[in-house]
Structure 1
């Protein structure tokens, strides 16, 4: 095995090198490594460069130069040097590993995976490379493969804390929360003060609905690494779950101080302020950060988005106008939205078109042209989106509308509300539908903590739970989930097959939840007409209903009427009267909404999206 590290001497030299004695080569490399260990990288690089003048492709000198480049943050140079070293002498597992590390830091996880696999091909018991492989697989969004890489390692070496910690992260990303928690607990028992493991275990516990146990871990992690914006951000989530709103706000603010351009932290902070009715400080963090980073397109985009959601299009347009001449596609799109909502449709269309093939702008350009009664012009833009992703739910919804307005018979094929909408009453194990749903409604009350609806959701006059409802450790939630899963399996088995249909063609009979939440509406509350862009199938399960649903279709579910506000051109294709225990399943691209109701009672539902598995 051939390897060079900063803390060890050089290996033997392969044959075929230029004329330099082994003693001279060894002495030069030893001296360069000693200098590098002392942090004197400049003199070390000088020696190595001189060595390469004599022996241009010396693998040991190239590797050591690569290590120095990585140590000084020059990963592009490091990757190039490691590749040159491997070209000269391929059988160096540690250099393949070092190359993988440089590629991970460069944001190239796919190439890093290949490098780590090469290292393991040469040295199958190279545990460091195996853990690094799993980390690269996680970065490449292949959590299942990361788990598969690590399970044999922890079985062979159960005291490998790094392997257990990485396995915990992989299992969490793979949706295996109980197994993730077990792996992370094992890792922390082996390294009790390891801050990243504390942090990851706290995140996993919180995701599993155990914020009380997560909080002390996240607090310890914050104390151990007070400079970590990510830990402060996740602490804010945990405090929010525990209804410690003031402390959550401070945690999010701390994350933003540490990383002022962190879009997720700004969104979480301002979302919480809005839902809690604390509008005096709402959006202030964006303005403070933009004063420091005036050209940050992500912050500009998000601040404009918040203003648009709040109905302040003129402020959004004023914010973006100074950047319109040098805007990115995303800002052209956002500026177009602001102009559209400000009553300047022609200028808006020009901005959407200026964004080129930016998918949101193509969709918005199509949507705007449908509203302007120019459906023929919308279709090429919709087709461009669907060419990139045939399952784009927003584009499918718009395609159905455009087909209807152009008298295309495929509209009925796409939007068959009778065949593709299922409405069935679910019966609990004890057979008492009324009692079960009354108990479920009481249990869900604890999860509705906010004062008003989220700004970026379609409900009006109510509240919505955060995070994954079905992951919460509540026996009533677990029972309703099991009932729902059984019904979905039966429905999928009964659907017709059509390989060309964008809904039916995805049916493998297997599915996974991609999000679940509860909504509680109060009097005059309703859902605006909308679709679910992240789903394949969406659903609503009715838990509790006001008496008003028996009168004048109040609180009823409607399909077919779009969110485009087309006036006389709109149509309602189907209405469903809710009742406790009713589960309604439908394609995620179907427009749906609810009729407002007036009643002292509330309307509680569980909603979710699923995707093919």
Structure 2
């Protein structure tokens, strides 16, 4: 009995639409036995394999289809969709272009190419595609939504918001537009963020990025529900590292006694051979100072994931931080000559009380990248231990560090303190941060709209300008002074509230060029122990080095202290009271 090829194709298409992929695959194989390779059959097979979660056979089928019909716009578009999902963005853009060369009015391909160009950072080209879609069809909400995302990435908030709102006017349930508006509201600390996220989550309850934003918006508003929402999401998507990291942070801040990394441990059970997940788990434990636990987790994973120089580097760093110095020596001797490897060996040499070796390793790394804060911070310690005069050039030139009592009155400070206390809604310090015995605000503090914060930012700006004017002369070889005459801007900004016994461990700020401490409310800082005072230049306690700080500075309400971001700094603990500060980093 002859095979009815058309009937089989029709049945395969129906099976594909109803996600009966095995049936579709069987019917397509029967068609191929009759007609041989045919681009339409191979195209449908590629879509079947892609939707069945089998990217390798899907890619193979797409390539066979395109070998037969290289200019087919739909095959090129769908192939590009898969390439984009696999992270091969440049090839995806190329095949979207092939689709558009065959059919310049193919709106889906133009929208898709714009999305890929956005991911590649080619914002101008992405907007050109979206402008053309809008010109052809001004009622296409998808194009406004996508262009809003491009404008947001470029920093054009007004244009982004206008496009997101236009998309919602055309189609009120566009999840991407709602999410875009919600993220913008979050970034400017606007109270509309939470209701916008509620709407976005109602429209797209399984969208992981929406879930993450919604959970963090709930946390920022001091409302319950964020942790269980995020925990359920990572339970369903155990490969979702961004969600697991945020869940760990939220758990650490909600309850200092909670096992913040429990989500990772559960995910590893489900995906034991997932290399990226295992490495992220170790990083998370290390951020929470659980280096021995991270090392134990690495040992358990040895037989599940490939061992290589990256794993050796992890082992060396974790062993060094956990105090197993001999094991660290052995692991670090096996790593390759990467920048991260040299940084790890340099820090370990300091822990081994070998500043000469540390300096020899760290100086070339620091000189090769003047913005690498970690290298300069550790090199400064090595030079000071060696008595190298370059330590003074790096850390102790007059004017590098500055102390100013700002022009702010007591009533303004009291109002600001009340505003800040209302923003400290968590109960414990976040993992990976320097504070102990306190809390830290989320988001960019100086982007908030509260009048007391806006006024204080203006006062701080005047203090920053005065400090920059008093810096030593420009020095193109110096990690800070090379920026002496450039326009500087606020990077991150936040508030820290320490309670009785609270302090900061010695740390640096890797994203800044200048860092700060500004005091709003203080406990009693008198006495020979100098409780709550700021220390500059002392090494981290975990390195076990006998080296005093360069300076110990008394805090006072309204006092601003500025110093190079590569300079280690921390605070002395205090017994009773509250230490409320504002801090920020300055960037180019």
Structure 2 equivalent of residue 242 of structure 1: 221
1:444 to 415, 420, 444: 420
Q: Report the equivalent of 2:561.
A: 584
Alignment check: 8 A CA contact 1:159 1:190 kept: yes
Q: Is the 8 A contact 1:79 1:103 kept in 2?
A: no
Are 1:554 and 2:534 matched, yes or no? no
- Distance, in Å, in 2 between the alignment partners of 1:414 and 1:548 is 30
Aligned residue for 2:371? Answer: 391
- Within a 5 Å distance, the mapping from 1:321-340 to structure 2 comes to 321-324=299-302, 326-340=306-320
Displacement of 1:405: 3.6
Aligned: 1:375 with 2:371: no
Counterpart among 245, 254, 279 of residue 257 in structure 2: 279
Q: Is the 8 A contact 1:353 1:362 kept in 2?
A: no
* Structure 2 residue aligned with 1:232: 211
Q: Distance in 2 between matches of 1:381 and 1:67?
A: 57
1:573 matches 2:553? no
Partners of 1:145 and 1:253 lie apart in 2 by 38
1:188 is matched with: 168
* Alignment partners' CA distance in 2, 1:145 and 1:383: 41
Give, in angstroms, the shift of residue 374 of structure 1.
Answer: 1.8
Match of 1:353 among 320, 326, 333: 333
3-state SS of the aligned residue for 1:546? coil
Please report the TM-score for the alignment, with normalisation by the length of structure 1. Answer: 0.79
The separation in 2 between residues aligned to 1:68 and 1:469, in whole angstroms, is 52
| CA distance 1:290–1:407, change in 2 (3 Å) | same
Map residues 506-525 of structure 1 onto 2, 5 A cutoff.
Answer: 506=483, 509-525=486-502
Q: 1:501-536 CA distances to partner (integer Å, 9 max, x unpaired)? A: 333335672344432211012233221111011223
Larger displacement relative to structure 2 (382-391 or 413-422) = 382-391
Cα separation, partners in 2 of 1:370 and 1:41, compared to 1, 3 Å: same
Question: Where does 1:12-51 land on structure 2 (aligned, <5 Å)?
Answer: 39=16
| Helix, strand or coil at the partner of 2:353 | coil
Q: Secondary structure at the match of 2:437?
A: strand
What's 1:208 paired with?
188
**CA-to-aligned-CA distance 1:286-337 (integer Å, 9 cap, x gap):** 3322222223344444444455555554443333223347435454334334
Residue of 115, 118, 134 corresponding to 1:138: 118
Matches within 5 A, 1:97-176: 100-113=80-93, 128-141=108-121, 146=126, 150=130, 158-176=138-156
The alpha-carbon deviation at position 474 of structure 1 amounts to 1.7
For the Cα contact (< 8 Å) 1:208–1:473, is it kept in 2? yes
Any idea what the Cα deviations from partners look like across 1:375-418, whole Å, max 9, x if unmatched?
33334543564477442211121122223344544333332453
In structure 1, how many angstroms separate the alpha carbons of the residues matched to 2:137 and 2:405? Answer: 51
Q: Say yes or no: does 1:264 pair with 2:242.
A: yes
Q: Which secondary structure state, in structure 2, belongs to the residue aligned with residue 419 of structure 1? A: coil
Distance 2:109 2:464 in 1: 42
Larger deviation, residues 197-206 vs 443-452: 197-206
| CA displacement at 1:99 relative to structure 2 | 6.0
Match of 2:20 in 1: none
Q: Pick which of 121-130 and 315-324 moved more.
A: 121-130
Aligned-residue offset at 1:367: 0.5
Aligned residue for 1:418, secondary structure, equals coil
C-alpha displacement of 1:162: 1.4
Instruction: Give the equivalent residue in structure 2 for 1:410.
Output: 390
For the residues of structure 2 that align with 1:508 and 1:65, how far apart are their CA atoms?
61
Q: CA deviation at 1:261?
A: 2.7
Contact 1:308 1:338 in 2 (8 A): yes
Describe the shift of the 1:191–1:82 C-alpha distance in structure 2 as closer, same or farther (beyond 3 A): farther
Aligned in 2, Cα 1:134/1:539: closer, same or farther, shift over 3 Å?
Answer: farther
Matched, 1:597 2:574: yes
Which of residues 442, 445, 448 in structure 2 aligns to 1:469? 445
Question: Following the alignment from structure 1 to structure 2, what is the Cα–Cα distance between the partners of residues 216 and 504?
Answer: 45
* TM-superposed deviation, 1:566: 5.4
Q: 1:251 to 1:571 in 2, by over 3 A?
A: same
Structure 1 CA distance for aligned equivalents of residues 583 and 498 of structure 2:
13
Contact 1:167 1:180 in 2 (8 A): yes
Change (3 A) 1:352 1:180: farther
In the aligned structure 2, how far is the partner of 1:261 from the partner of 1:556? 43
* Contact 1:93/1:120, CA 8 A, preserved across alignment: yes
Secondary structure in structure 2 of the residue aligned to 1:561: coil
Between stretches 442-451 and 468-477, larger displacement belongs to: 468-477
- Residue 33 of structure 1 and its aligned partner are, at CA, apart by 9.3
Gaps of 5+ in 1: 1-28, 54-60
Q: Does 1:318 align with 2:282?
A: no
Report the 3-state secondary structure (helix = DSSP H, G, I; strand = E; otherwise coil) of the residue aligned with 2:333. helix
Gaps of 5+ in 2: 17-23
The answer to whether the Cα contact below 8 Å between 2:123 and 2:150 also exists between their aligned partners in 1 is yes
CA distance in 2, matches of 1:584, 1:151: 48
Q: Which whole-Å CA distance do the structure 2 matches of 1:128 and 1:465 have between them?
A: 42
Deviation at 1:165, TM superposition (A): 1.1
**SS where residue 446 of structure 1 aligns?**
helix
Aligned length: 568
Is the contact made by 1:78 and 1:99 (CA closer than 8 Å) also made in structure 2?
Answer: no
